[in-house]
Amino acid sequence: MKTIRDPVHNLIQFDLKTEGLIVRLIDTPEFQRLHHIRQLGLSFFTYPGATHTRFSHSIGVAHLMKRFVDRLLADEGARRAAPGGERLKEDRLLAMAAALLHDIGHGPLSHAIEAVTGVHHEAWSRLIVTGGTAVTRVLEAERPGLAREVADVIGRSHANRAIVKLLSSQLDVDRTDYLLRDAHMTGARYGALDLEWLIHSLRLGVSVPREGSVEAEVGLDLEKGLSIAEDFMMARFYMYRHVYLHKTTRAAELMVQHLLLRAAELAEAGALTLPPALGAVLALRSRRDPEQAAEAILGAFLTLTDATVWSAFFDWQEHPDPVLRTLSRRLIARDLYKALPLPEGGLPTDRLYELHEEAAERLRAQGLAGLDGRPIPGRYALFLDTEETIPYKDPYLLPAGRRPAEPTAGGGSDKESGASADGAGGTGVGEVPAPAKDDARARGGESAAAPADGDAESTVAVWMIDREGRAVELSRASELIRFLREHRHAYRRVYVPREIREEMAARLRALR
């Protein structure tokens, strides 16, 4: 028996005879790398205790998958009635392996590098699982074809929909662990859940997604589990509001994204020599198909950790480029940009562009300018942030015009749709919505701290299972959820250096 002491789950145990695969996967270099990737990216700037890693989270998710599957296996009647329910037993180890490896593709500083390169962690995960790594070899030694099956579960395309939904749905093992773990490590107790009752309430049921079709659903007992389902959704709501989208964390994330963007620009211009691995990864942003190009540099990616990127930030403090130098120094000294709310209703695109240029000019007037005395590019003087979270997605019941965007192919994210500052669609984090004069922008837009709930999911509903085994969508059973689903928690902010905060705040007030 392999025993791991964990601050959230106490003792995590894997039987070496029946679950030895999990221990062998933990021992691979690719999984051990997760020791050096913080789970919450830059949230330690806000919550000093938030230094836990993807390593501990991933082991916790594998542990919860084991417990969730075993609870469903104990209900023989429901298992036999649900399509594919009988496969749960034979796919138990597959489910645990996929749970363990679901975050193995995360890079340094969580989603920050993804925002610059456009290659998401799911793509890296698929490459690591199937690309001839030590992980691939361990999986294939267990059973030929297992690596592809694990990749299919992580990619939500596996035929066993029950285990896919256990790993990726609105109420799954990933979310359960990160809510518990992030709440514990940050000290923000909003994510504290009654885990034992949640597991006790787990049920398999069936839904009828279309006429003549029956599908297995994982949910909670309608009579026993309604309160814990409501607690789960409220925990997510408050964790996003107070932890994942905290303004200090967002400031640090935007600064890192723009710092990496500037480094990539300078490297492309021959003005900066990047560490080889970081250079190879950042160069993906200029490739026509970044995900396809990623396969050739997988080895380089696997050498990147939070520490290697921070080492580059320390080195850049003395670089002659004022943007690279200043952003590096500010991050290391925790001299973060300050948040200012945008006027209610947003601003037109041309006015936003003017604000960027005005911020740059104000910095120049205070002596913070480029080597030639000209203002630094506006996109580095002011960051636009339009983050939005919908605590409960229910696209087939939300009124037209209020539906979240359809998920696209991955925290880590409840930010399924982002609204631009002028209310007309979404913009990427840090993007200037008027690129004509300033077209080298940060791409992407996820909060690095937030879990990747914006990813494509196996289901957009939380199911309650009635006495007959029929799946009832949560908002039909809960008045609280019906209220909650209509309330988005949105932020429309700009971030500027502290030196010009008051001037820009007055400028924004004048625009209201």
Q: Give the tens place of pLDDT for each residue, 6-56.
A: 999 999 999 999 999 999 999 999 999 999 999 999 999 999 999 999 999
Q: What is the mean pLDDT of residues 140-163?
A: 94
Could you give the CA distance from residue 289 to residue 241 in angstroms, rounded to a whole number? Answer: 35
Q: What is the mean pLDDT of residues 485-504?
A: 85
CA angle 388, 447, 35 (to 5 degrees): 145
Partners of 204 in the beta sheet? 218
Task: For the beta carbon of residue 390, count every other beta carbon within 10 angstroms.
Answer: 26
Could you give the CA distance from residue 203 to residue 226 in angstroms, rounded to a whole number? Answer: 12
- Displacement of CA 121 from its chain's centroid (Å): 9
Mean pLDDT for all residues in the chain: 84
Quick check: 120 and 445 in contact, CB under 8 A?
no
Q: What is the mean pLDDT of residues 324-339?
A: 96
State the pLDDT at residue 389.
56
State the pLDDT at residue 346.
73
Higher pLDDT, 350 or 118: 118
State the pLDDT at residue 405.
34
**What is the longest distance spanned by two Cα atoms in the chain?**
76
Whether the predicted pLDDT of 461 surpasses 90: no
| DSSP label at residue 71 | H
Task: For the beta carbon of residue 128, count every other beta carbon within 10 angstroms.
Answer: 26
Whether the predicted pLDDT of 404 surpasses 60: no
Whether the predicted pLDDT of 431 surpasses 80: no
Please report, as a single letter, which amino acid is at residue 1.
M
Go through the chain and tell me how many residues it has.
512
CA angle 197, 199, 202 (to 5 degrees): 110
Residue 80 has phi, psi (to 5 degrees) of: -70, -30
Burial class for 511, CB neighbours closer than 10 Å (0-12, 13-18, 19+) = exposed
DSSP code per residue over 418-445: ---TTSSS---TT--S-GGG--------
pLDDT band at 66 (very low <50, low <70, confident <90, very high): very high
Within 8 A by CB and 6+ apart from 133, the residues are: 28, 30, 298, 302
Instruction: Give the tokens for residue 380.
Output: 């580095």
Residue 4 has phi, psi (to 5 degrees) of: -125, 125
Partners of 339 in the beta sheet? 495
State the pLDDT at residue 407.
27
State the pLDDT at residue 91.
95
State the pLDDT at residue 214.
81
Interstrand relation of 383-389 and 10-14 (parallel, antiparallel or unpaired): unpaired
Quick check: 160 and 84 in contact, CB under 8 A?
yes
Could you give the CA distance from residue 371 to residue 320 in angstroms, rounded to a whole number? Answer: 8
pLDDT single digits (tens) 190-200: 888 999 999 99
State the pLDDT at residue 414.
36
pTM to 2 decimals?
Answer: 0.86
Whether the predicted pLDDT of 393 surpasses 80: no
State the pLDDT at residue 391.
56
Burial class for 80, CB neighbours closer than 10 Å (0-12, 13-18, 19+) = exposed
Query: What percent of the chain has a predicted confidence (pLDDT) above 70?
Result: 83
| DSSP label at residue 499 | G
Could you give the CA distance from residue 281 to residue 294 in angstroms, rounded to a whole number? Answer: 8
Whether the predicted pLDDT of 212 surpasses 50: yes
Sheet of 463-465: strand order equals 202-207, 215-221, 463-465, 471-473
From the candidate CATH numbers 1.10.3210.10, 1.10.101.10, 2.60.120.380, 1.25.40.20, the one assigned to the domain spanning 2-244: 1.10.3210.10
Computed over its alpha carbons, how large is the radius of gyration of the chain? 23
pLDDT band at 204 (very low <50, low <70, confident <90, very high): very high
Domain boundaries, the chain: 2-244, 250-510
Task: For the beta carbon of residue 312, count every other beta carbon within 10 angstroms.
Answer: 19
State the pLDDT at residue 237.
85
Instruction: Give the tokens for residue 289.
Output: 């198909």
Whether the predicted pLDDT of 403 surpasses 50: no
Whether the predicted pLDDT of 412 surpasses 60: no
Could you give the CA distance from residue 89 to residue 204 in angstroms, rounded to a whole number? Answer: 14
Higher pLDDT, 431 or 93: 93
Whether the predicted pLDDT of 137 surpasses 90: yes
State the pLDDT at residue 367.
76
Q: What is the mean pLDDT of residues 220-231?
A: 95
Instruction: Give the tokens for residue 360.
Output: 């740059």
Instruction: Give the tokens for residue 133.
Output: 């790594």
Residue with tokens 């196996």: 458
